[in-house]
Amino acid sequence: MPRRYPAPVRDPRVERWATSGAMALTGLPDLPLGPPEALVEGIEQLARPFPGLDGPALLGERAALMGLWRRGATSCGGSCRLLAAADGFLAVNLPRAEDMESVPAWLELDDVPASAPATWAALAGEVARRSADELVARGTLLGLPVVRVGEAASRPALSRVPLGAAPARPLEGAVVVDLSALWAGPLCGDLLARRGARVVKVESTARPDGARRGPAAFFDLLNGAKRSVALDFGDVAGRRALCHLVQRADVVIEASRPRALEQLGIRAADCVGGGGPQVWVSITGYGRSGEGAGRVAFGDDAAAAAGLVVRHDGAPLFCADAVADPLTGLTAAGACIEALGRGGRWLLDVSMAGVAAGLAGPTLAVEPGIEPATPRARRPAGPAPASGADTAQVLAELGYAG
């Protein structure tokens, strides 16, 4: 009689990773990889305040709407690369035109090819012969999102700064002023809106949210449940209106370096402590204070700095698509709901690298037979309003007399 062997036990975390669509965005083009061991359970815990939300599937929403796929040591979006330096690995992110233009100054070279593919090839050769710490230091001085892989592995995810007393209140009906852009902050605002908050997206007329230049479907997903206010931050009347909105809000979400708002006359701690918004959600790459405060960060490089990568043959590869962005948006939204329910006045300092660091770990193996599902996205609440479509109405509702 043939001997029977028990079927191998599959790791439910890897199966969940595969069915969520995130595995399709992780690993080499011909080899999907499993998640860091803490990630799946961690993101499912973060999603608990939002009934019906598929936490791991959030990681694939942008990719689903933009047709992105896994590319190994190149990010799904294409702007970030994991490169070997002489003494470690770097994540180099060049998402803006000015970042690419800064490469010659960063590497102290007179002649760098003008085309992006040639620039990347030259850059990889230069990085390979230089010290990672030297490259990071020079990149930081130039405002480039350049990091050593794992350098921020001990960053805290969230600091709660108490700033006074206030009664607990529900999220439903709360006025949320969302000053953020791109992905993490807008996702936070979207999740709060879907839980019943009245969210107002506020943009500068001179510099609207850069995500408006991307696929409309992704912008709608993050902003379709909000109203839109656009103000001229360079004008005295515009700044006055902005300060009024901030003071009348129950919650403020922003993802700026502190000095950017201070130049507009807005100081988070003073606003909250002085009887303005009850909760201030501040999203930064590495925290508002201490080492790393003020550094530029995007989702791919912040995750790499935190060590939230997967590894194959000892080399780091990207884990999902700009993974620190959706993780941070989810973390910030949950922390905001908790702060309102607890009562008191709070400044929530949410670090993208810190959030990612708490979910890093060794890469889980993928058992034979597990195939990645295609990434998917939630349905938007509706089309996002045009920039400034609700300015007059919102200002009137919140008592702004000009």
Lowest mean pLDDT among 4-8, 230-234, 383-387: 4-8
Give the model's pLDDT for residue 111: 76
Examine the pLDDT at 362 and tell me if it is beyond 60: yes
Give the model's pLDDT for residue 259: 86
pLDDT band with cut points at 50, 70 and 90 for residue 401: confident
Examine the pLDDT at 112 and tell me if it is beyond 80: no
How much is the average pLDDT of 375-385? 97
pLDDT band with cut points at 50, 70 and 90 for residue 361: very high
Q: Average per-residue pLDDT in the chain?
A: 95
- Within 8 A by CB and 6+ apart from 94, the residues are 79, 80, 100, 103, 144
Examine the pLDDT at 5 and tell me if it is beyond 80: no
| Alpha-carbon span 217 to 224, nearest angstrom | 10
| Alpha-carbon span 398 to 375, nearest angstrom | 40
| Alpha-carbon span 330 to 323, nearest angstrom | 11
Examine the pLDDT at 7 and tell me if it is beyond 60: no
Examine the pLDDT at 307 and tell me if it is beyond 70: yes
Examine the pLDDT at 229 and tell me if it is beyond 70: yes
pLDDT band with cut points at 50, 70 and 90 for residue 291: confident
pLDDT digits (tens, 9 = 90+) for 247-268: 999 999 999 988 889 999 999 9
| Alpha-carbon span 245 to 395, nearest angstrom | 7
Asked if the 9-71+151-402 domain carries CATH number 3.40.50.10540, the reply is: yes
How much is the average pLDDT of 350-362? 97
Listed in sequence order, the DSSP H helices in 235-294 are 236-248, 258-262, 268-273
Examine the pLDDT at 402 and tell me if it is beyond 80: no
Give the model's pLDDT for residue 10: 84
Give the model's pLDDT for residue 370: 94
pLDDT band with cut points at 50, 70 and 90 for residue 6: low
How much is the average pLDDT of 61-66? 98
| Alpha-carbon span 313 to 28, nearest angstrom | 11
pLDDT digits (tens, 9 = 90+) for 148-205: 999 999 989 999 999 999 999 999 999 999 999 999 999 999 999 999 999 999 999 9
* Distance, CA of 123 to chain centre: 26
Query: Structural domain boundaries of the chain?
Result: 9-71+151-402
How much is the average pLDDT of 120-138? 94
- Within 8 A by CB and 6+ apart from 99, the residues are 93, 144, 145
Spell 352-386 as b/e; 16+ CB within 10 A means b.
bbbbbbbbbeebbebeeebebeebebeebbeebbe
**How crowded is residue 101: how many other Cβ atoms within 10 Å of its Cβ?**
13
Torsion angles phi and psi, residue 89, rounded to 5: -115, 140
Examine the pLDDT at 47 and tell me if it is beyond 70: yes
- Give ∠ CA 370-374-380 in degrees, rounded to 5: 140
Examine the pLDDT at 299 and tell me if it is beyond 60: yes
> CA dihedral defined by 273, 276, 281, 283, rounded to 10 degrees?
-80
pLDDT digits (tens, 9 = 90+) for 67-105: 999 999 999 999 999 999 999 999 999 999 899 889 999
In eight-state DSSP terms, residue 74 is: B
Torsion angles phi and psi, residue 345, rounded to 5: -110, 135
Give the model's pLDDT for residue 136: 97
Torsion angles phi and psi, residue 193, rounded to 5: -65, -40
